[in-house]
Amino acid sequence: MIVETCDLPAHELVRRLKQGEITAVGILESTVARIDAVEGRAPTTAPYQAEAMDQEKIHAYITLTLDRAHEQAQAVDRALEAGEDPGVLAGVPISIKDIFCLRGTPSTAGSRILENFISPYTATPASRLEAAGAVTLGKVNLDEFTYGSSNESSAFLPPPGNPWDPKRVPGGSSGASAAAVAAGESTISLGTDTAGSIRQPASFCGVVGLKPTYGRVSRYGLIAFASSLDCPGPVTRDVTDAALALQVIAGQDPYDATTAAIPVDDYLSGLEKGVAGMRIGLSPDYFRLRYPDPETGELQEQPVAPEIAAAVRQAAAILAEAGAEIVEDVAMPNTQYGIPAYFVISRVEAASNLHRYDGVKYGLRYEGAVEDMIELYQKSRGQGFGPQPKLRILMGMYVSAEQYEKDYYQKALRVRTLIRRDFETAFDPQGDHRLDCLLTPTTPTTAFEIGRVYGDTVLMQYADLLTVPANHAGIPGISIPAGLDSLNLPIGIQLLGPDFSEAKLLRVARAYEMATDAEAWRKGKPKVLEAT
């Protein structure tokens, strides 16, 4: 089987580049050819009419920045020729979720209201990637302002398709990031994770998605959704690439007061040291979905998809084989409150974060005649925001209103503390479990069909039930591929660890990756690539 350049992981590209086997321009050309083959028509905000072809294509990129990419690739090749160090990500094609500001590019957040906003500055993690030699191909699609788990809420349509079955969603909100990495349209993508927005699409698309500890990676330049939960992180082909990318983007930033002063670990040197002696937990609370019925408030319960549960148990067996100790029955009782608490906290912050889009300074302004300023606000925001931002503003304003905030916002913050406490107990080195990490399914199901869930905001939100606790607690999590289900759709498993334990999570993930290297499912190819 011939592997095309654009399908290689970043560490392999960099190795070959430094050996002189390939050039950065060559890598770029291979990737651009792949984009031409699988991308399909460009997503726009024009009235959307679905076409048959749309169901076969990826539609990942809102904006391609090929001129920028060519300049960067040529600079890498020149540096190599001159014997200079071109950086640890030299020549690696990357895509940036269009929630990050990138100087001189439209930075749209997938919304009409920012369709014409050209950022005058670059987000810290994006500039760190570029400074390490990465080649920026463009800005990829997402749910509008990251509000969703399927990418269907973007104002830029057609929506991205899942490379394994383009009739299905790639997940969200970093859906096009995961789709682009899976389909060879970029080697690494910079995503964001507020409730699972990196891990869930990584799981749906069969790639690796890492949500770092809150404060590990700067949020400067990330167009905010829920400021206390948002985390930038990489979507990659494999675990080594995730370590490589995190190494580049992690660390304190004078422009983000919430970044931690704690030194960044070396994520690569211990990556393959294995899991001998590690304590890895399984929790029954991550094998069932418990949630209050939106109508009655009664607690409902459903198991996660059996094939996914089986993949997790299989992974536990593999890790046990590799020397880890599996700790069963770890109680995580507050997991079930993760989504309701998230509904409240994220929407209060989101409504406030969206205040600045008023049509006065930048972005969409209503063109027609208005009576006064208030009408200008109403018309501009009414026209600029899609249904998801509107719903979140409504709910955010409601639960933060003076007469309700004690019952909702303050209570949700207390729930958040309880969720954090579940993890602290599980990871406590003096506690009953003394876990190094927790092994869970990433998602309750594999990728669902476009149009099947969209419209049911509550149901859609439950796609994040198993990922959102990490955001509440601020801890790191990683989703890695762990097989294919009967529909040939990727299954993801998740590892969650204590604050700043990324090195350890990556090590466990890499151990699993090495142990399953020869598995038949690893040879599986996304459907869109079958024709190529």
Partner 1 sequence: MEAFETVIGLETHVQLNTLSKIFCACKADSWGDPANSNICPICTGLPGVLPTLNRAVVEKAVLLAAALQADAIQDLSYLARKNYFYPDLPKGYQISQYNEPLARGGCLELPLPDGSVRVVGIEKLHIEEDAGKTIRQGDRRLIDFNRCGVPLAEVVTKPDLRSADEVAQYLIRLRQIVRWIGVSEGNMEKGQMRCDANISIRALGSEELNTKTEIKNLNSIDAARMAVQAEIERQVEEVREGGAIHPWTLNWDDENNTLFKMRAKETEADYRYFREPDLLPIRLVSSWRGAILEELPELPLERRARFIEAYRLPEYDAEILTEERSFSDYFEDALAEYGGEAKTVSNWLMNDVLRLIRERDVLAAELRLRPEHLAEIIHLLDDKKITTNIAKELLDKVQESGKAPSSIVEEEGLSQVSDQAALRKMAEQVLADNPDQVATYRGGKTTVIGWFVGQIMKQSKGKANPQMVREILEELLAN
Contact residues for partner 1 (CB under 8 A)? Answer: 100-101, 107, 109, 114, 117, 119-121, 123, 219-224, 226-228, 254-258, 348-349, 351-352, 354-358, 360-362, 373, 377, 397, 400-402, 405, 409
Catalytic residue among 197, 203, 346, 501: 197
Residue 20 burial by Cβ neighbours in a 10 Å radius (0-12, 13-18, 19+): exposed
By DSSP bridging, strand 477-484 and strand 208-211 are antiparallel
Min dist. Cβ of residue 354 to partner 1 (A)? 8
Q: CA dihedral in degrees (519, 465, 420, 300; nearest 10)?
A: -120
Contact yes or no for 223/357 (Cβ under 8 A): no
Element (H, E) at 301: strand 299-303
> Of 255 and 455, which has the nearer Cβ to partner 1?
255
Which amino acid is it at 123? A
197 has catalytic annotation: yes
CA-nearest of 201, 242, 232, 246 to 442 is 201
Catalytic residue among 111, 173, 186, 346: 173
Min dist. Cβ of residue 373 to partner 1 (A)? 7
Both tokens of 55, joined, read: 């169901």
Region of residue 38 (left: phi > 0; alpha: psi -120 to 50; beta: else): alpha
> Of 87 and 110, which has the nearer Cβ to partner 1?
110
Min dist. Cβ of residue 308 to partner 1 (A)? 33
> Of 317 and 401, which has the nearer Cβ to partner 1?
401
Strands (E), 328-393: none
Min dist. Cβ of residue 227 to partner 1 (A)? 4
The SS3 call for residue 85 is coil
97 has catalytic annotation: yes
**Number of Cα atoms under 13 Å in the Cβ half of residue 247:** 20
Catalytic residue among 30, 57, 95, 97: 97
Min dist. Cβ of residue 223 to partner 1 (A)? 4
Give the integer Cα–Cα distance in Å for 362 and 532: 42
CA-nearest of 135, 143, 142, 96 to 119 is 96
> Of 14 and 351, which has the nearer Cβ to partner 1?
351
Query: Taking the mean position of all CA atoms in its chain, how far away is CA 307?
Result: 23
Min dist. Cβ of residue 110 to partner 1 (A)? 12
Contact yes or no for 56/42 (Cβ under 8 A): no
Number of Cβ within 10 Å of residue 332's Cβ equals: 21
Both tokens of 388, joined, read: 């998801």
Which residues belong to the active site? Answer: 97, 173, 197
